[in-house]
Amino acid sequence: MQEIDRLMAVQEGVVCRRQARAAGMAARSIDRRLESGVWIKVLPGVYRISSSAPNWRQFLTAAWLWAGEDAVVSHRAAALLHGLDGVDEAPAELWTGNHTLAPKHRGWIVTHTTSGIPRTDLARAGPLVVTNPARTLIDLGAVVGEGIVEFALEDALRRGLTTIGKIESRLADLGGSGRRGAGVLRNVLSRRGAGAAPAGSGLEVKLIRILRSAKLADPMRQYPIRIHGKVVARPDLAYPASRLLIECDGYKFHSGRNVFDKDRGRRNVLAALGWTVLHFTRTDVANPSAFLEALKAVLSSNSVAESR
């Protein structure tokens, strides 16, 4: 049937029995497709077309159909669909009102029961109903650590997927003492400080976490350097009191002759204004001791100079 074929095309090659029957397909016709191998059973009442190549998104769609009409993709699966930093893989994770789902399917499906998700927390990813970025960040803290939540938060803010205001509003409504995940997100928000700009990259988030582990204060983010009121540079991180700037150099953002010349010209301007600039690279992530030693030396020497 053309209607079923169109539906499977937008649902990653899968369909549930309920949908097929609603489209007018007889039960016997469904069984014949299964018997002939045209369709393959993925979960009870959910089938994939045999010519389709299995993949994570197909498994997720199958789980979403199996979990019932009120199911919502959530937690790690929602974060992966939104492309949030820190989440590179996920089970088929769902909110559902169905309390009778068979535990034997929990190997690659994780379900969280709920009496319902507010419409304001929902979004669409193709045919899938998924928690929006703000709600996803709240839920994420229930299943991963603060480090991953911080990566995801900064990425969502940087890409404009949500705002601090929206997150805080949802936390106020949902983040009571019994809400799993809310406390983790609150901790991340409290550490970043009110009004802090989003980290410009995942590398910046890693550096900020390294600085914290070294008992150093969080630097200011995207700090504007002005000459006669005009912004001439906006380095990634800064300790203004110590006249220290930090640039997080990912190769893809700092390659090419034009970029090289521009970076060097800007660095000369900053040096002339009395700023020290340190560069942090992906190589430093694995062994940041040399970078931290240089940074502490600058902080110490500039503090001494200021006190004279």
- Tell me the β-bridge partners of 85: none
Residue 307 has pLDDT above 90, yes or no: no
- The answer to whether residues 71 and 94 touch, using CB atoms and an 8 Å cutoff, is yes
Q: Is 197 inside a domain boundary?
A: no
Q: Of 29, 52, 75, at which residue does a domain stop? A: 52
Q: Is 254 inside a domain boundary?
A: yes
Same domain? 33 vs 94: no
Same domain? 111 vs 174: yes
Name which of 99, 29, 15 is nearest 64 in CA terms. 15
Q: Which residue has the tokens 């709240």?
A: 138
Q: Is 137 inside a domain boundary?
A: yes
Same domain? 258 vs 139: no
| Residue bearing the bigger pLDDT, 105 or 150 | 150
pLDDT at position 250 is 73
Same domain? 66 vs 171: yes
CA angle in degrees (0–180, nearest 5) for 250-251-257: 130
Residue 67 CA to its chain's centroid (Å):
24
Residue 53 has pLDDT above 80, yes or no: yes
Q: Which residues contact 166 (CB under 8 A, 6 or more apart)?
A: 134
Same domain? 239 vs 166: no
Same domain? 62 vs 48: no
Number of domains in the chain: 3
Same domain? 143 vs 241: no
Residue 105 has pLDDT above 60, yes or no: no
The whole domain housing 295 covers: 202-307
Same domain? 145 vs 257: no
- Condensed to tens digits (0 to 9), the pLDDT of residues 4-42 reads 989 999 999 999 999 999 999 999 999 999 999 999 999
CATH number where 282 lies: 3.40.960.10
Token pair belonging to 182: 């809310």
Question: What is d(CA 233, CA 273) in angstroms, rounded to the nearest whole number?
Answer: 11
Token pair belonging to 277: 């600039």
Q: Of 153, 169, 192, at which residue does a domain stop? A: 192
Same domain? 47 vs 73: no
Tell me the whole-structure pTM to 2 decimals. Answer: 0.86
Mean of pLDDT values over 302-307 = 52
Q: Of 138, 166, 192, at which residue does a domain stop? A: 192
Name which of 233, 223, 219, 229 is nearest 272 in CA terms. 233
Q: What DSSP line would sit under 178-197, residue for residue? A: T-TTHHHHHHHHHHH-TTPP
Same domain? 222 vs 181: no
Token pair belonging to 207: 């550096």
pLDDT band at 255 (very low <50, low <70, confident <90, very high): very low
